[in-house]
Structure 1
Amino acid sequence: MVVGLNVQRLRRERDISQEDLSLRSGCTRGYLSGIENGRRNPTILFLASLAQVLGTDILEFFVKPMKAKAHGNPDKGDRADASVVTFGKSANKRKSARRSTR
């Protein structure tokens, strides 16, 4: 989900439509929409090409978005910090929760 939100944020910061970005990156608008909404999981190779089209570093897709604050605007790139999303215990907890509900 973080990746999709950042793709959307970076696209909006550059005032690029989904249609235009999809044409530039070689995918369909539906696929791009799916990424932004967390329904699709792009490959690292696709994210690298998307980063190039957006003129940014691929790591920007993995930065935690900032929570909304009174005078900040997440659509303008405001974020709490430059921390990168880590995959660890929380992912394992979700896996074990899924196993216990079966």
Structure 2
Amino acid sequence: MVLVFSVGHISGAHFNPAVTIAFATCKRFPWKQVPPYILAQVLGSTLANGTLRLLFTGKLNHFLGTQPAGSDGQAFVFEFIITFYLMFIISGVATDNRAVSSNFFLLITC
């Protein structure tokens, strides 16, 4: 949510392929630009993953920030819910002209 409010006006909040596909589906982004955006997003996430591998040493298979504590089903439901929240926020802030500006949001949170 912080990224949406801080750089959403610059990038259109295209932080992952789900956002790009959702915008294209809602006719707020041209379909012909979807493949290059997704390619850039996958490349960016791959480079970020490589950077984290270089920064964090130790057991590579045991990073608590990404390893689910429950079952696969619980992890899927939790991921579905938080992804829904993210998409809801991005759709409301980045695509609707009636949304509260990010400057106002920063003012009331300081």
Larger radius of gyration between Structure 1 and Structure 2: 2
Structure with greater proportional helix content: 2
What's the TM-score, normalizing by structure 2? 0.21
What's the TM-score, normalizing by structure 1? 0.22
